[in-house]
Every structure is written in C-alpha cells, then in structure tokens.
Amino acid sequence: MKRIEVEGLPEDPLGAAGLFHQNWTDPIERALGEGQDVMVTLEPTDHTHGEWRKAAAAMLARKHAPQRVNLVAGEGDALDAIEAYLAKAPGITGQYLEAAQ
C-alpha cells in the first residue's frame, strides 16, 4: 500500500478542498493507475473538513476500482496502526477515517 502524505492545506475547508484537488489528485490517481492501493494521510482538523474529505475518498474509489484508496486524518503511531489494518482489509475502500490520538 502506498502512503501519500498531504500537508500544508489551508484551515478554510473550501480552500483546503480546492488545493487538495489541484495539487494532490494527480499523484493519487497516478499511483492508483499503476495498480497500487493508496492511503492518503491528512493533518487532523475540525469537523468542517469532513464532508469534502468523505466525498474525495468516495469519488476516487469509484473511479479507480478495484484499486483501493482511503483518506486518513491523524499523526504518528495511529496512522501506522490504520495502515497495517487497511493492508489486511481488502474490502475497505472509499472511506475517510480519523485516527484516534
């Protein structure tokens, strides 16, 4: 599973969504197109970012099935634990997950 780390998004949800799609969609789709499953990591944020993150995960998964893609917010060991879980859970794709801290 390839991990793509997204950093530096604005605090504003609309700006963050726009920058994500402008700068990160291509590398994610390129990895999926090469046959890799992808876990996209994002910095934790408040609930106002949840909807665009859920939508991005779902749209990428639909477009690139059967490859798997999930977006995960969190840091450190929590991300490692989720990555290990996803690697063993072949039915999970198109999800936005928040790692407990």
pLDDT of amino acid 94: 98
Q: What angle do CA 60, 92, 1 make, to 5 degrees?
A: 75
- Domain limits for position 92: 2-98
- Measure Cα distances from 32 to 13, 50, 51 in Å: 25, 23, 22
Both tokens of residue 45?
């944020």
Find out whether 61 and 93 touch, Cβ atoms under 8 Å.
yes
For 3-40, write each residue's pLDDT tens digit: 999 999 999 999 999 999 999 999 999 999 999 999 99
Mean pLDDT of the chain: 96
Helix (H, G, I), strand (E, B) or coil at 7: coil
Instruction: Return the structure tokens found at 18.
Output: 């726009």
User: Are residues 75 and 101 in contact, defined by beta-carbon separation less than 8 angstroms?
Assistant: yes
Q: Tell if the pTM clears 0.85, that is, is over it.
A: yes
Domain count, the chain: 1
